[in-house]
Amino acid sequence: MIPVKDFVICRVSGRALPLRGDDIDTDRIMPARYLRCVTFEGLETHVFEDDREQAAGQHPFDNPAYRGASVLIGGRNFGCGSSREHAPQGLQRWGIHGIVAVSFAEIFLGNCVLLGLPCLTASVGDVQELQKLVEENPRSEVCLDLESRKVSISSNGKEMASAPASMPEGVRQSFLGGTWDGTALLLSAPADVRRIAQSLAYTRAFA
């Protein structure tokens, strides 16, 4: 079994990177040509590559002020589109260890859970306020607190603002309990799996 202790994630904190815009799809996060690979290694260098190219240095991922950020602040429907895990893999390898956004696409969210990358949602107003505060003061620290379900921002150790943030309860429990990497759990009941497999008419070819 997995040593659960090392997997417990109660909070993610660090400097943040505000990424404005809704419906940011995974094709933008990781262009398809970088899916021609048999490992996820090195994907961090291609995160938002085409958007960054078109923004000619003005993209938040190229802004030196946000270098080393570990929290991404996104908009509505973040991570929509393709199921490519290459997108969250790239973000995580770039250094993003938590995301707060107005909402997430579900496959993206599921992928993030299995990578130990917590995604929390907050209201449009709170997310925009957070983005603004970080833009004004990129050195401030953002904390995603899974235990108390809130996101807060502080500067020089002083909290400037905080807001409620949420994630599906089952997922939250899996982070707090260190069980988000759930393969071992799925593997722990082979007899139950066999029972269901055998109970289904189609696995017996309707014989």
Residue among 156 and 199 whose Cβ is closer to another protein: 199
Binding to another protein (CB under 8 A): which residues in 115-144? 115, 124
Strands (E), the chain: 11-18, 71-73, 98-101, 119-121, 141-145, 150-155, 158-164
Q: Are 100 and 121 in contact (CB under 8 A)?
A: yes
Q: How far is the CB of 155 from another protein (least distance, A)?
A: 27
Residue with Cβ nearer another protein (57 or 206): 206
**Residue closer to another protein, measured from CB, 40 or 161:** 40
User: What is the chain's alpha carbon radius of gyration, rounded to the nearest angstrom?
Assistant: 19
**CB environment 30-58: b (16+ within 10 A), e (fewer):** bbeebeeeeeeeebeebbbbebbeeeeee
- Is there binding between residue 51 and another protein (CB under 8 A)? yes
Determine if 76 is a binding residue for another protein (CB under 8 A): yes
Q: Of 65-73, 105-113, 146-154, 157-165, which part binds another protein (CB under 8 A)?
A: 105-113
How do 150-155 and 141-145 pair as beta strands? antiparallel
Distance from C-alpha of 29 to C-alpha of 27, rounded to nearest angstrom: 6
Give the binding site for another protein (CB under 8 A): 20-23, 25, 27-28, 31-33, 35-40, 49-51, 53-54, 76-77, 80-86, 88, 103-107, 110-111, 114-115, 124, 168-174, 177, 179, 182-183, 185-187, 189-190, 192-193, 196-197, 199-203, 205-207
